[in-house]
């Protein structure tokens, strides 16, 4: 399985911190934010990785990461997204790198308390389709700003709703997505959203309609450090106190 880390975007929600650098290079506790996404993949035995970024600060990733060996990466590739065209468009840039393999996609501003390795191992045995990670969110007001799954009586995802006024469940879709090779056949069929972007929720709903979408609920903390200044510092404070990407006893 290959890994794709998405580290583009303008970072406008973290202005003015991002006026001088890419948000994924901002520090979370004692190291750059991007290093947590790399660690999550390497701990899941995913060591062939492509980093997709864009903007005027793209070269800073090369200076920081080099060939990736210091971070446990066997082969590190880079792709440049010329304009903010959405998560699905950014993933499409990795098609030749993934080369019909399975892929795990990580949004580099998402930080997890616990290792994603158990989910990666489950996806490796999944016959086909996709897999997402969900996190339980207690504040309904927060759910209105996230992607939220609708679940049926058997616990299957029946639909994913983006920024719902009336959230259909208490779970949020986090920024970790597992896909089979068919994802690169799905992306060209998408239509741009009202934002003019190709949305990853549309990709996920394709697999939902095919009834090949599986999910896991993450243990422990999950935070999107790019959501707002307040969220950035909340993630920072949590990691400082508790760490990230920790192995779960018994797994």
CATH number (domain holding residue 94): 3.90.550.10
**Assigned domain for 120 exists:** yes
Residue 151 within any structural domain of the chain: no
Residue 153 located in a structural domain: no
- The answer to whether residue 32 sits within a structural domain is yes
- Report yes or no on 43 lying in a domain: yes
Residue at 142 is within a domain: no
Mean pLDDT of the chain: 96
249 located within any domain: no
Which residue has tokens 């339980």? 136
Range(s) of the domain holding residue 237: 2-133+173-242
CA angle 7, 9, 11 (to 5 degrees): 105
Q: Which of 106, 146, 114 is nearest to 227 (CA)?
A: 146
First CA to last CA across the chain, in angstroms? 20
Cα separation, 72 vs 66, whole angstroms: 12
CA–CA dist 54, 82 (Å, integer): 6
Do the domain assignments include residue 247? no
89-101 pLDDT, tens per residue?
Answer: 999 999 999 999 9
DSSP designation for 248? P
pLDDT band at 250 (very low <50, low <70, confident <90, very high): low
Q: Is the pLDDT of residue 241 over 70?
A: yes
What does each C-alpha distance from 18 to 11, 90, 106 come to in angstroms?
6, 20, 20
The total of structural domains in the chain comes to 1
């Amino acid at each position: 399985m290959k890994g794709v880390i998405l580290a583009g975007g303008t970072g406008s929600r973290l202005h003015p911190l991002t006026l001088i650098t890419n948000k994924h290079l901002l520090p979370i506790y004692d190291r750059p934010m991007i290093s947590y996404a790399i660690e999550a993949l390497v701990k899941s035995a995913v060591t062939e990785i492509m980093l997709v970024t864009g903007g005027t600060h793209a070269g800073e990733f090369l200076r920081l990461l080099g060939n990736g060996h210091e971070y446990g990466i066997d082969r590190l590739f880079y792709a440049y997204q010329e304009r903010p065209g959405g998560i699905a468009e950014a993933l499409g840039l990795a098609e030749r790198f993934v080369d019909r393999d399975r892929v795990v996609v990580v949004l580099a501003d998402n930080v997890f308390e616990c290792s994603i390795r158990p989910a990666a191992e489950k996806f490796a045995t999944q016959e086909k389709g996709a897999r997402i990670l969900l996190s339980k969110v207690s504040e309904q007001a927060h759910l209105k700003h996230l992607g939220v799954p609708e679940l049926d009586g058997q616990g299957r995802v029946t639909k994913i709703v983006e920024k719902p006024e009336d959230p259909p469940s208490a779970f949020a879709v986090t920024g970790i997505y597992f896909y089979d090779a068919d994802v690169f056949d799905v992306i060209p069929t998408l239509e741009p959203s009202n934002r003019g972007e190709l949305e990853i929720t549309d990709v996920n709903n394709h697999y939902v309609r095919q009834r090949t979408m599986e999910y896991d609920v993450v243990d422990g903390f999950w935070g999107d450090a790019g959501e707002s200044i307040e969220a950035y510092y909340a993630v920072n404070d949590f990691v400082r106190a508790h760490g990230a990407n920790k192995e779960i006893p018994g797994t």
